[in-house]
A and B are shown apart, each in its own frame.
Chain A
Amino acid sequence: MTSECERIEQLLDREEAPALPADLEAHAASCDVCQLRLAIARDLGERLGAGALPMGARRAAIVERIVGAGGLAQRRRRTIRRVWVAAAVAAAAVVAAIVVLWPARPEPVLPTEVFAAMLGPFAEAPAKEEAGVPAPAEQTSPLDDALGLFWNDLEGPVGLARSALDVPRAAVSQPPVTENK
């Protein structure tokens, strides 16, 4: 590589389409390396966007797919609406389950019970107490234990909110005081 080659390369590094001085023009005319470099730079500037690239016959079909009945835009809007409705229904079910279970129980409400209340008839029916046979002692699953630990160990603002909620629940759940005389 000659010093002229290096000068041309430096010019190309600095400028998009450099005007070569006469001595470099003369060099480039006889140097394959420089001719290739200059041709690549020229193609990059002039030919990269070549071709009209019309949409052709597919244009009408694509427009129809976008805005026609059942088109992409309509499907997208319907999907977004369904997601919002599903989220609202789920949130309402959680709130309803908590409201139903919260005040009536002296013991803490297990997270799985909230889900069971949400599921309603789909939840597994509790074992019936047969005559003379006491119902089996309530068993907690490992998931209950883990969620219970998480719930009871909450700290910070969420933990404070939980404590605030526990106070009225304890008051409501307290059995009536009877005097033994």
Chain B
Amino acid sequence: MTGRSKPKGHVVADAVAEELVRRAAAGDAAARRRLVETTIDGVWALAMRLVRREDTADEIVQETYARALANLADWTPRGRFEGYLARIATNLVLERWRRARPAVPLDPHLASPAALEPWQRLADEEDDQRRLAAIWEAVQRLAPEPRAALLLYHAQGESCDSIAGILDVPVGTVKSWLHRARIEVRSGAEAFLRGRP
């Protein structure tokens, strides 16, 4: 596998996180703040890679911490606190995707350079930008769970085991979703770029 990287942001050492969570759950405001400060970059990066909109990512991050801090007693030291946050954030994104209306048919104008998101402009060549835009359009037309699996794997750099933990499904299901999603995205983007959406 090439070009995949682990999520950015601080990683809180397990023992430190455990102590912080224990103090935060007891009502220590400083511990709550430190817990948020040390983990928020990772949650933000995850939210952005899933939704690719800053305002939506802001909402996801805030709601993630509101839920996590209100239920600190639910976190068990068996797993990493970042994993707990990732599960909450991903489930919040899934809830939004399930509520969203079905995607409209692919619009050729969406992939024009003027309509590109900032991250898609990172590619140097216009063809590369159009291809990234077409891939993103195809990704947005996937069903919520395969879409989450695909983005967690390819954009966030999580392993299949880790994704299974985040989505609370067997590893085999994650692999099946990934396989199907890759084929759908490839054929969708290809059809789009060849002018037959």
Contacts and interface: CB of A to CB of B under 8 A. Distances in A.
Interface of A: 12-13, 16-17, 33, 36-37, 39-41, 43-55, 58-59, 62-63, 65-67, 72-73, 76-77, 80
Contacts of B179: 13
B41 A73 contact: no
Contact of B131 (A39, A55, A58, A65): A39
B186 A53 contact: no
Contact of B70 (A17, A36, A77): A77
B70 A73 contact: yes
B44 A16 contact: no
B135 A44 contact: yes
B104 interface: no
B74 interface: no
A45 B40 contact: no
Interface string B148-188: 00010011110000000000000000000001001101100
Contacts of A36: 131, 190, 193-194
Given A40-B135, A45-B1, A67 B36 contact: yes
B131 A40 contact: yes
Contact of B37 (A33, A46, A63, A77): A63
Contact of A45 (B8, B32, B154, B156): B154
Interface string B104-136: 000000000000001100110000100110110
B81 interface: no
Given A59-B40, A62-B58, A80-B70, A43 B183 contact: no
Given A48-B135, A77-B70, A55 B40 contact: yes
